[in-house]
């Protein structure tokens, strides 16, 4: 095992890798329960999506661990699943089978641009200042996820700022909503604030944060995982940890429903019905483009943000990526592992599968090799049977880990010359905006656009790498497409 995963060379050991894998899994296990909820709104059987989520996550993560030997985990992406349901199915009128077909094609495109080295060339074209900014931005993003999941934040919006309820335009005269209120979208007038800590969930997260911070600073082995377990136990008498077991996601029912979604992307309601008219063909291509662009840059942002600072992708590996052929570096292999996961997931019945930013939790716990990823994959497979037990761990127990990982990762921002506005402006847009917009790829887009704009107005257009210019134009087109959709 030491030779296969090169544990000594990466200054790690089996116990550390397993603890890191467990940490990553618990940080992202919410997707097992959230993804079925989101995709079931599109008409998909929820227990089939539950099993498809497990299969896609386990297979993709296993390939990442065994082929690329890096500690990253994959699962259906949050945001991408919302785009699948609310935009592709609800707004554009595609059937869920057609949406799965679009995701499958997106996966094929990701494989193509990986094999042809397009994604690698994009990474090599990103200026160093933006790579540091993306790293720090991932920290801001992860930390914000932690603060939100901990229940530390509350948001206030008056009726004049409400834009839509249940994906329909809001009217002040509407008194009732059929089926209740499932979603509210508000404008920029929403005001964030700190909760008053009368809620037991927020108090538990605060206790967990203090506990985990002490363990991490004291460099206690397995500090993050110990913190999650102890916080979960403390949550029992506080009424936050729900120890009642549910059979909602039974394995038998999941396999029975999987027959509905497995291969549905290629059926009569799927692939064969996508390109039946010129207008639908154009709409399908635009949707595939939007899927692929978001998926690609979510992944690149995670790799750049976590791999550079931790040494997972070392200087030697970066050189091998630049000068080597085929899959000669860990980055090449990691990109390929990520690219095939989306197509696999769509075959079984789930939206785009991508590399999870929550992998940073395991990396922060010391994970450095593919053994961490293999552990996560094993946890996903086991969760098919033990999902009710896994669901006991409350989000408030995992949130402190994400906050502390965010603290660690923002250290990349110190490498930026903040006194030089030519660097500071695009770096700010790529880092802070990433967290506040709650989207990795949009933060990268903001950084790219402002970097190119500043170089143009200062007469330094030659410093813009041609690939960076092309990608920036692609981002602008992507925003136009989203506006049209």
218 & 247 share domain? yes
364 & 431 share domain? yes
78 & 221 share domain? yes
Residue 325, pLDDT score: 67
Q: Which residues contact 428 (CB under 8 A, 6 or more apart)?
A: 133
- Report the C-alpha gap between 230 and 129 in whole angstroms: 39
Cα 321 to chain center, whole Å?
Answer: 24
Contacts within 8 Å (CB) and 24+ apart, 6-12: 6/69, 6/369, 7/369, 7/371, 10/368, 10/369, 11/368, 12/366, 12/367, 12/368, 12/369
297 & 252 share domain? yes
Q: Residue 164's domain spans which residues?
A: 156-171+180-194
Structural domain count of the chain: 2
Residue 314, pLDDT score: 73
Helix or strand run (H / E) with residue 185:
strand 184-186
Mean per-residue pLDDT pooled into runs of 10, the chain (485 residues): 90 94 91 87 92 95 95 90 86 92 94 84 87 85 87 86 82 76 80 89 96 90 85 94 69 86 94 85 85 83 76 74 72 88 95 91 92 97 82 86 85 90 94 84 91 96 93 89 74
187 & 229 share domain? no
Helix or strand or coil: residue 353?
Answer: strand
89 DSSP assignment = I
297 DSSP assignment = H
Neighbouring C-beta atoms of residue 108, cutoff 10 Å: 16
419 & 435 share domain? yes
CA distances from 457 to 130, 216, 452, 460 (A): 18, 46, 9, 8
77 DSSP assignment = P
Residue 50, pLDDT score: 92
88 & 167 share domain? no
* Tokens standing for residue 67: 């082929």
276 & 381 share domain? yes
Q: Considering only CA atoms, which of 350, 282, 301, 325 is closest in space to residue 80?
A: 350
440 & 457 share domain? yes
290 & 164 share domain? no
**The pairing of beta strand 153-156 with beta strand 191-194:** antiparallel
- Report the C-alpha gap between 387 and 252 in whole angstroms: 13
Residue 106, pLDDT score: 93
Helix or strand run (H / E) with residue 163:
strand 162-165
- Report the C-alpha gap between 37 and 52 in whole angstroms: 13
129 & 162 share domain? no
CA distances from 484 to 147, 167, 343, 457, 479 (A): 33, 17, 26, 29, 9
165 & 274 share domain? no
């Amino acid at each position: 095992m030491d030779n296969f995963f090169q544990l000594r060379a990466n200054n790690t050991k089996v116990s550390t890798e397993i603890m890191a894998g467990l940490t990553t899994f618990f940080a992202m296990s919410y997707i097992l329960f959230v993804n079925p909820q989101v995709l079931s709104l599109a008409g998909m059987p929820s227990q089939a999506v539950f099993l498809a989520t497990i299969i896609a996550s386990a297979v993709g993560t296993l390939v990442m661990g065994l082929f690329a030997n890096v500690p990253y985990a994959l699962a259906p992406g949050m945001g991408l699943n919302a785009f699948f349901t609310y935009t592709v199915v609800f707004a554009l009128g595609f059937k869920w089978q057609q949406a799965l077909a679009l995701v499958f094609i997106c996966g094929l495109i990701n494989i193509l641009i990986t094999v042809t080295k397009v994604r690698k060339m994009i990474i090599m074209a990103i200026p160093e200042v933006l790579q540091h900014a993306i790293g720090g931005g991932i920290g801001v993003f992860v930390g914000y996820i932690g603060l939100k999941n901990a229940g530390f934040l509350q948001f206030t919006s008056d009726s004049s700022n409400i834009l839509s309820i249940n994906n329909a335009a809001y009217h002040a005269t509407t008194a009732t909503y059929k089926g209740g209120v499932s979603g509210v979208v508000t404008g920029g007038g929403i005001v964030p604030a700190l909760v008053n800590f009368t809620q037991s969930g927020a108090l538990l997260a605060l206790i967990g944060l203090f506990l985990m911070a002490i363990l991490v600073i004291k460099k206690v082995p397995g500090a993050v995982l110990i913190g999650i377990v102890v916080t979960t136990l403390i949550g029992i008498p506080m009424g936050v940890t729900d120890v009642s077991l549910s059979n909602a996601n039974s394995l038998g029912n999941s396999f029975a429903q999987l027959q509905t979604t497995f291969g549905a992307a290629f059926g009569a309601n799927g692939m064969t019905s996508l390109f039946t008219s010129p207008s639908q063909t154009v709409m399908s291509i635009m949707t595939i483009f939007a899927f692929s662009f978001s998926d690609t840059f979510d992944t690149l942002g995670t790799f750049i943000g976590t791999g550079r600072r931790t040494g997972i992708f070392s200087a030697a590996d970066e050189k091998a990526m630049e000068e080597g052929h085929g899959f000669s570096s860990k980055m090449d292999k990691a990109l390929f592992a990520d690219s095939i996961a989306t197509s696999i997931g769509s075959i079984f019945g789930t939206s785009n599968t991508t590399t999870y930013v929550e992998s940073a939790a395991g990396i922060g716990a010391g994970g450095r090799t593919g053994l961490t990823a293999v552990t996560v994959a094993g946890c996903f497979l086991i969760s098919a049977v033990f999902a009710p037990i896994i669901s006991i761990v409350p989000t408030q127990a995992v949130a402190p880990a994400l906050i502390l990982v965010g603290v660690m990762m923002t250290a990349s921002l110190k490498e930026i010359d903040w006194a030089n506005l030519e660097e500071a402006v695009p770096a700010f847009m790529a880092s802070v905006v990433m967290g506040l917009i709650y989207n990795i790829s949009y933060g990268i887009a903001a950084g790219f656009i402002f970097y190119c704009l500043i170089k143009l107005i200062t007469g330094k257009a030659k410093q813009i790498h041609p690939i960076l210019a092309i990608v920036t134009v692609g981002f602008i087109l992507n925003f136009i497409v989203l506006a049209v959709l």
